[in-house]
Structure 1
Amino acid sequence: MTDRFRAGAGRLCLDFVRTLRYRGTPEEREELPDAAAWGAWIDQLGPFAAPVHPASAADAQVLREAIYELLTGEVREPVRRRLNRFAALPVPAPSLTTAGELRWQAADPAEAMLALLARDALELVTSPESGRVRRCAGERCGALFLDTSRPGTRRWCSMEICGNQAKKSTYRAKVSVS
């Protein structure tokens, strides 16, 4: 099975923010348009063993935009209240199966996922890592990612995609000038 959603931004809340793909460009695309997509995101990136079937994606979209505003330094009072409200929701509880595997359980897995995402964002923005959140330099991308490189100079969310496209463009520009 191929993963439907992008992961690897360095924190779960950053992967979540990337569900509004190509943010701010004419190609902007909503990856969580409905409950089925929100459930698929939780199934792919969440901690639950069984498929999740949320009733709606509206809260997920509201939280995603609040996290984006928090991480880009645009926090207003309503955003702060929203984040705190989501962070206060019940989180999943760990349990050990008879086979010795860790499983996560929650009365409402979608609501618990919102709590995990809000808490992750609040922890990130109040940590030393907050200064390492970057916006991808890819021409069409603009995704946020956590720069974990030693010098802190990473430019792209993904070297395989955005970095490769940028290097190809630079090369083509040099070749056409020659």
Structure 2
Amino acid sequence: MAPTPEPATARFRGGAGRLCLDFMRTLRLRGTDDATEELPTAEDLADWVAQLGPYPADTAVPVPTAAVLGQARALREAVHTLLTAARGDGGAAACPPGERELLNAAAAGAPPVPRLDENGTTVHGSGDPVGAVLVDIARDAITLATSPALAQVRSCSGPRCTAWFLDTSRPGNRRWCSMETCGNKSKKSTWRAKHTTAPDA
């Protein structure tokens, strides 16, 4: 699945290279004391789908129910569990049964439907925009966990970042989830360390 471009004033972070990795990022700083939920309300989930889903920019994404929000968060954690297992020694087979069943059930739904518009462009739609994107996320996670592309998944080297991303660089040595954020912060920190004058003894 191609990376989703981010608008200049994006509210949520995209650009991880896979939809499922972008969705995992909605729990910012996962595993740290500063972990932050970026989808605290159903309105936030609708906004995420409007920004990072495959729909045209003017698509009105209805706010889902609180139950759907709970399902979305559970799916996000199942995606993280699956990919963590898949990157380990046991591979995707090490994914716990509960998470595997949740992912399989989510993937069985109806994804966004492509259609050809009058301009010869593919556009996507769905009667349930949020639900359809959750299907896409589950399918993308299962596909990634069982494909050679998994070897290209990296953890950001930023000391204040826990994001994962797909490294599609030619040398395969990308270090940061985003050069504009974590990359620049790291370079500035390195520059300051090299140019700090030691105090007089």
Secondary structure in 2 matching 1:155:
coil
Counterpart residue number, 2:73:
61
C-alpha distance 177-82 of structure 1, shift in aligned 2 (>3 A): farther
Counterpart of 1:2 in structure 2: which amino acid?
T
Separation of aligned partners in 1, 2:185 and 2:9: 22
1:138 is matched by which residue type in structure 2? G
Q: Which residue type is aligned with residue 59 of structure 1?
A: Q
Counterpart-to-counterpart distance in 2, 1:157 and 1:175: 26
Q: Which amino acid aligns with 2:179?
A: M
Deviation at 1:90, TM superposition (A): 1.3
Query: Is the contact made by 1:39 and 1:51 (CA closer than 8 Å) also made in structure 2?
Result: no
| TM value normalised by structure 2 | 0.82
The CA deviation at 1:98 is: 4.2
Please tell me whether residue 157 in structure 1 is matched to residue 191 in structure 2: no
State the alpha-carbon separation in 2 of the partners of residues 177 and 2 from structure 1.
37
- 1:86-125 residue pairs with structure 2 within 5 A? 86-125=106-145
SS in 1 for 2:196: helix
The alpha carbon displacement at 1:97 in A equals 3.5
Question: Which residue, 34, 42, 49 being the options, matches 1:35?
Answer: 42
Q: What percentage of aligned pairs have identical amino acids? A: 52
Return the TM-score normalized by structure 1.
Answer: 0.91
Structure 1 unaligned residues grouped into runs of 5+ = none
The residue number in structure 2 matching 1:16 is 23
Contact 1:90/1:115, CA 8 A, preserved across alignment: yes
Q: CA deviation at 1:93?
A: 1.7
Instruction: Describe how 1:125-144 pairs up with structure 2 within 5 A.
Output: 125-144=145-164
Number of aligned residue pairs: 178
1:67-112 deviation line (CA, Å, top 9, x unaligned): 1111122721111111111101111222234454433232322111
The whole-number CA distance in structure 2 between the counterparts of 1:9 and 1:129 is 13
Q: What do residues 113-148 of structure 1 show as CA deviations (whole Å, max 9, x unaligned)?
A: 110010011111111110111110111111000011
- Please give the root-mean-square deviation of Cα atoms over the aligned residues, in Å: 1.8
Q: Distance in 2 between matches of 1:86 and 1:177?
A: 56
Q: Which amino acid aligns with 1:90?
A: A
The reply to whether residue 52 of structure 1 matches residue 72 of structure 2 is no
Q: 85-94 vs 47-56, which deviates more?
A: 47-56
SS of structure 1 residue aligned to 2:30: coil
SS at match of 1:72: helix
**Counterpart for residue 176 of structure 1:** 196
Counterpart among 78, 84, 88 of residue 72 in structure 1: 84
The secondary structure found in structure 1 opposite 2:123 is strand
Q: Could you say which residue in structure 2 is the equivalent of 1:7?
A: 14
